[in-house]
Copies of this chain bind each other. A is one copy, B any other.
């Protein structure tokens, strides 16, 4: 994970789905303004309350965006992996980050600082629309998370997560996706998640060990997730 040469940044950005469809020349202009940052696992990219940020694009690795309670419990709002862009709120000077970003493993990010973006926006309304579309995605995702937390039990939430993540039957967990991490994602604690996993396993709906979770009975799981019948 060494610093990619300048003349390859453009190519990099074009592979980011976020920027697909944008003019190649404009993208290269963007690339020239991006800065490269490497982080160790568990490093803080930015803190809730900070205002001095911009837009981030993940080159390699994984980042989680979280909120903390005073007593240290954490709620994951979202994970971001290679090719994804986050922190749209960093575009606005008037608003501080609503959450904290932390790396989950050794991670490399591109950063487009607010000040470098402003002129581009005026020149390239298309870019603005892309960013807006991403924000719309964030809003929909968060609204779904709110509904999940408020309206469904841990078991239902877990079933939904498994159905979503393990579209292909077996879900091989990233090394960093521990039960504690999954619990923070689902808005609960490791113990409760462990119980829920066992309940689903005992019911014959899934099978799991330390590195992967297999869906054995998708229709049954859909039912537990209150998405069917």
Task: Please list the residues of chain A having a beta carbon within 8 angstroms of any beta carbon in chain B.
Answer: 67-70, 73, 75, 77, 88-89, 91-92, 94-95, 98-99, 121-122, 125, 128-129, 131-133, 135-140, 142-147, 149-152, 187, 226
In contact, A147 and B91 (Cβ under 8 angstroms) = no
In whole Å, how far is A126's beta carbon from the nearest beta carbon of chain B?
Answer: 9
Q: A125-B122, A140-B98, A142-B143 are in contact. Are A132 and B70 (CB under 8 A)?
A: no
A75 to B144, CA, bound (A): 11
Q: Assembly of this chain: how many copies? A: 2
Q: Which residue of B lies closest to A141 (CB)?
A: B98
Q: Residue on B with the closest CB to A90? A: B136
- CA separation between A150 and B68, bound complex, in Å? 10
Assembled-state Cα–Cα distance A88/B135 (Å):
10
Nearest CB of chain B from residue A145's CB, rounded to whole Å: 5
A98-B144, A131-B132 known; 10 new pairs, CB 8 Å cut-off, are A67-B150, A69-B226, A75-B147, A91-B132, A92-B133, A95-B136, A98-B140, A128-B129, A132-B132, A150-B187
Which B residues lie within 8 Å of A129 (CB)?
A: 121, 128
Pairs A–B under 8 Å by Cβ, sample size 18: A67-B143, A69-B226, A77-B146, A91-B132, A91-B136, A92-B132, A92-B133, A92-B136, A95-B136, A128-B129, A128-B132, A135-B135, A135-B136, A142-B145, A146-B187, A149-B149, A149-B187, A150-B187
A133 to B132, CA, bound (A): 10
